[in-house]
Chains A and B, each alone.
Chain A
Amino acid sequence: MKTMIATLALAGSLASALAAVATPAAAADDAKEKCYGVALKGQNDCAAGAGTTCAGTSKIDYQQNVFKLVPKGTCLSMKTPDGHGMLEQGMAPA
């Protein structure tokens, strides 16, 4: 019975969905991007580590420092409308 209802609803919904997609969404994609995609850097290469310094990371001591580090990216500039910083936001309502 439940399936029957869903079936009837489905047929009607599909009809309006088909009508909706028949009008193509405005898209002015670059033709080259459309054919070949965007260029993402490959992750395997055979060069030595970027940059000239081999001193910076030759001592692996992040483990101690990392827990003192504070995130300093865009997370600091994003505030919720009621003025709470994101850092205080915690779990948002689902």
Chain B
Amino acid sequence: MSDATQSAFAAGLLEATPPPAGIAAWNSPSPERRYGVYRNNVAASLTGALATRFPAAERIVGPDFFRAMAAVFIRLNPPRSPLLLAYGDDFPDFAANFEPAREIAYLADVMRIEAARTRAYHAADAAPLDPQVLAEIAPDRLGGLVLVPQPSLSVLSSPHPAVTIWAMNAGERPVEPVADWRGQDALVVRPHMIVEVVPLPPAGAPFFGHLAQGRALAEAASTAMAADAAFDISANLAILLRAGAFTAIRKDQDDEDRDHA
């Protein structure tokens, strides 16, 4: 089999071209339906991989629409790796710009929650920071603390009630009209073996977002305060500890000075 033959066989699997030259069946020189089995396997297995990763999205739009949307995505963005557990990281961005889904404005953000959840499921394991470690930090050093985020941590922010809609379509609560239609932010994190979606209070997203990027605690808190005066440091710190969103204190400048003293 030359590289060209393999190319032709591969090309027809994603595009509606006639079967490639050189294939045959015992009863036919042009076995369209038999070649179609391979085409079906590729489409069905990749659609299945996306449906496994985005079940809430499938419920929101219905299986027929989901399959059709997935088919277009697969043609434009076929997997570039045999690790299907990571396939579809960019499916939410695709959905955000997918014209037939335009009116479901919240769909892409629900899918971002689902993508973050599966990333967290497979992320490296790390023990959460022991609250006692923070309790023992001298007050004047708190503001300069830089924390190491869980490998599983994502900080998500939506102008829609995406967390509530995700929960309804993930079987965590009944599907019903959203009583309080406003934007929602959330952490997605796996502190131990269970992936959690933790809703955030006002300005929680910039606070955790900055912390996750390696900004110091005081800086993250000031940014959050500037973003929304309703920012409650205490409530957010309680979430930080309870959710196990960080694993350790990164060595900061003070530590360096102390080590060299």
Residues of chain A having any CB pair with chain B under 8 Å:
2-3, 6-14, 16-18, 20-22, 25, 29, 33-38, 40-45, 48-51, 53-63, 65-67, 69-75, 77-81, 86-94
Q: State the B residues within 8 Å of A (CB).
A: 14-16, 32-33, 36-37, 39-45, 48-49, 52-53, 58-69, 71-72, 75, 82-85, 87, 99-101, 103-107, 118, 121, 131, 134-135, 139-140, 142-143, 159-161, 165, 168-169, 175-179, 181-183, 192-195, 217-218, 221-222, 233-235, 237-238, 240-242
Please list the 10 inter-chain residue pairs (A to B) with the smallest Cβ-Cβ separation, ordered nearest first: A58-B36, A49-B44, A37-B193, A17-B237, A73-B62, A43-B84, A11-B139, A13-B234, A72-B62, A13-B233
Smallest beta-carbon distance B211→chain A, Å: 13
A27 → B minimal CB distance (Å): 10
Selected contact of A60 from candidates B64, B71, B106, B217, CB within 8 Å: B71
Q: Total A-B pairs in contact (CB under 8 Å)? A: 218
Contact between chains at A54 and B40 (CB < 8 Å):
yes
24 A-B residue pairs with Cβ-Cβ distance under 8 Å, sorted by A, are: A7-B140, A21-B242, A34-B192, A37-B194, A40-B121, A43-B84, A44-B82, A44-B83, A48-B37, A48-B41, A49-B41, A54-B36, A69-B65, A73-B61, A75-B60, A75-B104, A75-B107, A78-B178, A80-B181, A81-B178, A86-B104, A89-B181, A91-B105, A93-B182
Which of the residues A3, A21, A59, A89 comes within 8 Å of B218, measured between beta carbons? A3
Query: Which of B106, B107, B131, B143 is A6 in contact with, Cβ under 8 Å?
Result: B143
Specify which chain B residues have a CB less than 8 angstroms from the CB of A94 in the assembled complex: 159, 182-183
Contact B59–A37 (Cβ < 8 Å): no
By a CB distance below 8 angstroms, the chain A residues around B160 are 92
Contact, CB under 8 Å: B100 / A74: no
The answer for the CA separation of A84 and B178 in the assembled complex, in Å, is: 11
Q: Which A residue sits closest to B118, measured CB to CB?
A: A40
A59–B16 Cα gap in the complex (Å)?
A: 6
Question: Please, how many angstroms separate the alpha-carbon atoms of A12 and B238 in the complex?
Answer: 12
Query: Are A62 and B72 interface neighbours, CB within 8 A?
Result: yes
> What residues of chain A lie closer than 8 Å to B67, measured between beta carbons?
62
The answer to whether B140 and A71 have CB atoms under 8 Å apart is no
CA of A88 to CA of B238, assembled, Å: 38
Q: How far is the CA of A88 from the CA of B182 in the complex (A)?
A: 15
Could you say which residues of chain A place their CB within 8 Å of the CB of B61?
71-73, 75
Q: Are A54 and B33 in contact (CB under 8 A)?
A: yes
> Inside 8 A of B241's CB, which chain A residues have their CB?
17-18, 21
